[in-house]
A = this chain, B = another copy of it.
């Protein structure tokens, strides 16, 4: 049985039971066994994290940056082993997805987080010289990270976006591995622990538990010692954690579900329908559709160009190779959620059938509904069928489309394709106004699956896409704010202030708001 990493030491778990990951490409269980931890492991991890949090009060952003950079370097030294393991556990293609995509994104993200920690601008230091009041975001305390199944590297519990943001904000992390890639997470934690030792981070800076009971998970996120939680995963499990954390007032940042509406207006289809069909198919089937920002609902207006578009994408979905899904759970959910849509009146265009019993997979599937069918039961029609599928909605008028958008829950993204000549402009304006308040990121003429690690990115959105519409899970430095608490100093003697708030800038690079003016200069 694999060991857990607690208080800086790999040790036997207090195991209630064990589990194994499966190889999606052949449905076989992978060695070794991983423990399902008892509460004692969580309890010890929380104690160690609190001790680490206290030690971190005296550790500078620059030292944390050293750790994150050493960690990124160590990952690169071990990239082959990590990629092999992730490939075995996820069946993602090695070259195109893991080595070429997620791995550089992961180390790049860690290095961006390092730069943010070293610089300090993320913490929005604000100084009111007349009032003698200064404030800055400081560490929120131990952060629990529950990573998703679909990004074993770039959103892994001990390597990804939430991890990097929580550490860069000055917090220790308790990583709960995703059960579909425990080995990948373990390899990352080994690199992290080595880097933490090499850079003199406190024991308990990074800890790893593989799995707990649901009850212990809820206890973990609501424990008095926890500062905050980052969770990406299923809506059902996430909402239970949210309820537990909310009851004790512990911030929990969730990324739950999103159908990511894409409106494609007639002018755009006339102008470049074939191109958009290609783009949509690529985006929707990328990674076998297992993206948080997968375009799961396409909004169309009835007409000839729409008919042609539907024929084209139907043909493409039929022809495209069927990708492998991450787990038996994903396969089952995809089939059952598609069935929900069909039962609610969606018409099958292509797919919706098992195709290969030798691996986890399901046919590329397109369903179609009319706007009036959708509007008859919009809640059920928004069932997310996570995977290589999408629902095409055809409305009779722009008004009907707007009604549809008005019924949408919160989503991560919303896209609108319109023509360049201006024929779609009126429709755009009406739809965009309604869509804007439903989504975190509004796109034009582009599919939503690319999520750049940009300071201007919002990978967030209104509930239930996330738990709070003011925060982004991707994008540095913005993502760090989730793991900070606002700390104000009123009349505190100057020498007692944290370096970032002293008159002299700690590094000459940090942006501080001094009496309403953003500046990198020293005070006075």
Contacting chain B: which of A80-88, A93-101, A239-247, A354-362?
A: A239-247
Q: Contact between A249 and B458 (Cβ–Cβ < 8 Å)? A: no
CB of A307, distance to nearest CB on chain B (Å): 27
Q: A251-B468, A428-B496, A444-B493 are in contact. Are A455 and B486 (CB under 8 A)?
A: no
Residues on B with C-beta less than 8 A from A1 are none
In the complex, whether A133 has a CB less than 8 A from a CB of chain B is: yes
In the complex, whether A376 has a CB less than 8 A from a CB of chain B is: no
Q: A428-B496, A463-B250 are in contact. Are A488 and B433 (CB under 8 A)?
A: no
CB of A454, distance to nearest CB on chain B (Å): 4
How distant is the Cα of A458 from the Cα of B442 in the complex, in angstroms?
A: 32
- Chain A interface extent, by class: 35 or more
Residues on B with C-beta less than 8 A from A496 are 428, 432, 444
Kindly report which residue of chain B lies nearest to residue A517, judged by CB atoms.
B511
Q: Contact between B486 and A440 (Cβ–Cβ < 8 Å)? A: yes
CB of A130, distance to nearest CB on chain B (Å): 8
In the complex, whether A485 has a CB less than 8 A from a CB of chain B is: yes
Residues on B with C-beta less than 8 A from A462 are 249, 485
In the complex, whether A26 has a CB less than 8 A from a CB of chain B is: no
CB of A144, distance to nearest CB on chain B (Å): 16
Max count, chain B CB within 10 A of own CB: residue among A249, A457, A471 = A249
CB of A395, distance to nearest CB on chain B (Å): 20
Q: Contact between B54 and A489 (Cβ–Cβ < 8 Å)? A: no
Contacting chain B: which of A67-75, A135-143, A262-270, A328-336?
A: A135-143
In the complex, whether A127 has a CB less than 8 A from a CB of chain B is: yes
Q: Contact between B248 and A463 (Cβ–Cβ < 8 Å)? A: yes
How distant is the Cα of A392 from the Cα of B134 in the complex, in angstroms?
A: 29
Q: Contact between A443 and B485 (Cβ–Cβ < 8 Å)? A: no
CB of A53, distance to nearest CB on chain B (Å): 8
Q: A128-B455, A133-B457, A135-B456 are in contact. Are A247 and B243 (CB under 8 A)?
A: yes
Kindly report which residue of chain B lies nearest to residue A518, judged by CB atoms.
B518
Residues on B with C-beta less than 8 A from A452 are 128, 131, 133
Q: Contact between B441 and A490 (Cβ–Cβ < 8 Å)? A: yes
Q: A137-B470, A472-B486 are in contact. Are A456 and B492 (CB under 8 A)?
A: no
Identify which of B247, B456, B511 contacts A488 (C-beta below 8 A).
Answer: B456
In the complex, whether A172 has a CB less than 8 A from a CB of chain B is: no
Residue pairs across A and B with Cβ atoms less than 8 A apart, 5 shown, are: A54-B433, A442-B488, A444-B491, A460-B486, A472-B486
The 6 closest A-B CB pairs, nearest first, are: A249-B463, A518-B518, A458-B488, A469-B485, A246-B246, A128-B456
